[in-house]
Amino acid sequence: MKKIAGALALLILFGYLLMVAVYLHPFGEPQTEDMDKYFIERGQAETGANNIVTSIVFDYRGFDTLGEATVLFSAVTGVALLFKKKKEVKE
């Protein structure tokens, strides 16, 4: 009985979260267009990049991108160290 009640509660919670995600904000419609217009109008002149996405990622949000790359590199290094085989020392 407890398993059924737990599964039912989880199903209701999942349904509620799905409903909120679908009906809270329509997909594909941005809430505000102020920043979009700014980047489109001034992006190429300020950064010199022809691709707006590239200019945002590397020029406007460069430190954020550098931080994300550092976190990913640290995670990969940590996993590699965990799976590294230790050499047996023979005496």
DSSP string, 3-16: HHHHHHHHHHHHHH
Structural domain includes residue 87 = no
Tally of structural domains, the chain = 1
Structural domain includes residue 44 = yes
What domain range includes position 31?
2-82
Structural domain includes residue 70 = yes
pTM above 0.75, yes or no: no
43 burial level (CB within 10 Å; 0-12, 13-18, 19+): buried
Structural domain includes residue 91 = no
Structural domain includes residue 49 = yes
Structural domain includes residue 89 = no
Q: What is the mean pLDDT of residues 10-31?
A: 83
Provide the pLDDT for residue 57. Answer: 83
In tens, the pLDDT along 36-82 reads: 888 888 888 988 888 888 888 888 888 888 899 999 999 999 999 99
Helix, coil or strand: residue 74: helix
